[in-house]
Structure 1
Amino acid sequence: MAQKLLLIDTDCGIDDAQAIMMALAAPGVMVLGITCCFGNASVEDVCQNVLRVLSVCDRSQIPVFRGAAAPLVGTPDIPISHFGTDGLGDVLEDRDSERWKTPIQTEHAVNAMIRLVSDNIGQVSLVALGPLTNLALAVKLDPSFPQKLKKLFIMGGNMEGKGNRTVCGEFNFVMDPESAYIVLEEFLCPTYIASWEFTCRNKLSWDFFDEWINQDTAAARFMKEITSKCWAYSRDTLTSKDVVFGPGFVSYDSYAVAAAIDSSVVTESVECAVRVELQGALCRGMMGLDLCDKLKKRHRVFVMKECDLGKFGQLLMAALRQPCKT
């Protein structure tokens, strides 16, 4: 069986780390590179976070590229407290060590993205786990870029107007609404979206989380450390997710990676046109689903709706069981 080629674009926070580990552990999957964008932390911290994850998983040969440090319009709204100011829970002591700076590639992430896909036309699935700035820049530099992709998987947006960053907006899209708009208008390749509501509705139990991080591997110990002081992983903290969907463990970005690895993980989707709203105090960055074809758009995307939690849980478990450094 031919290997699945993945290119991961990330704003590496804790859930991104979980998703990246899932991709690294999956049999038959090759991660060509990881491109970095601002979001959960500054792009500099994001690059260092990715390098940490690769080091823990003994996969440091995978190239890491620095990308957009700010949205297309305005200034970045960081640091974000959700996963700590550094994106990985503020527990790692050597945050600014040269060890995590020197291995970053000199080629810009957007140029690397275009090159890696152009070298493997029709074979690469791009998985976007953060704000979509790098993707928007890529299509502006190379308008043919989307048609060279095999598939595009996005964790971001929302399907019911329920927000986590704003009243009606999901974090990744709200951080750069213009880029989200461009990507969903100009990327005409097969596109699959794991919205915020989808991930929250397909949550796992906290008992699963406890079993997951208490495995006897370096990856599990690393995950236990970076989640140890993070309020997002505290049962005692009431989050917007808990208020709207009830308590449980949600590895947000991992759903997009799981779908890219094994399409059978997603058991139901809605196929429709979508558009990102750019106006309004409450709705800027919100993704609207055109279920009645009012926009008359030819391009349709697949918005994930239901998930096989058994298969998803197995992929997550494997993410922390992979051969790692001790």
Structure 2
Amino acid sequence: MQVSFIVPLFNCLPLTQAMLASLQATLPPGLAHEIILVDDGSTDGTRAWLASLPPGQFRILLNEENLGFAGANNRAAALAAGELLVLLNNDLVLLPGWLEPMLAAHRQLGPRAGAIGNIQRDARSGAVDHVGLVVNLTGKPEHDRTPPCFLERSFAPVRPMPAVTGACLLIARQLWTELGGFDPGYRNGGEDVDLCFRARAAGRVNAVALRSVVRHHISASPGRKLRDEENSYRLARRWRAELAAAADAGCRTWSRDYLAAQLYAPCAAEYRLALAALAFLAHLRGPPAEAVAAVAAGLEGEFTRWAKLVPPASIPA
């Protein structure tokens, strides 16, 4: 099975060079693969460096205009030959053994496999930055930074998640094509969550391979934060019900906060709710209705805020 590694580039040449060196050093022996580099209008010498590379080492695509993260990945994926696509940011540091667990997770899930992610640590501090994406108390996606325990990594190394980041993502090319790739209406943010939610809607399971670890120079990609509000609004308008339904993390935050408040000011009339929150946190039952309502209220508050910041007509559903 051939794997197509897709690496969008936009400036940050030293990080690109280090990332590609780490990729080539960690490829499993005998893996059939291709590495597609798509430069998205770099101005820092990246193009001159690409022109100096030996022919045949990489497939190189040059965008005449900046297409953004979604557009650059879409262009490369449309030309990829591999049965599996692995999307990689150019600011990653790939560690030995990072790829094999992702391939194993995809095989384990079989025809149910959606997007596969991994654990990402901050390249500078080493702190865990990503163990998948969850939905918080305001109904917005955020990184889960809870590291897995030894038992989970040993005996349940594939953790289903609502979504994973596109910084290091494995997906079958056929599924990518069926889903239509990334929505280019997102600009450097939100397109990965949208893709994962479309995979879920198609009956697929997104997951994190807990034995795969990479390092990430967080926020090194230029322009990453310029359109966060527009991206969030677009995602919420399209997936409002799904965000509320997937807000397990938000419900857990509410339940923990509620129990903490009860410890300081217990109220006998609220013992039922406290027990319900405790049972939910212990994975014995679903979230309390009050927690679900709190997430819905948080998401409603975000829509009120977005209505003042972003004209709805500028963000197609």
TM-score > 0.5, shorter chain as reference: no
Structure whose residues are more often helix by fraction: 2
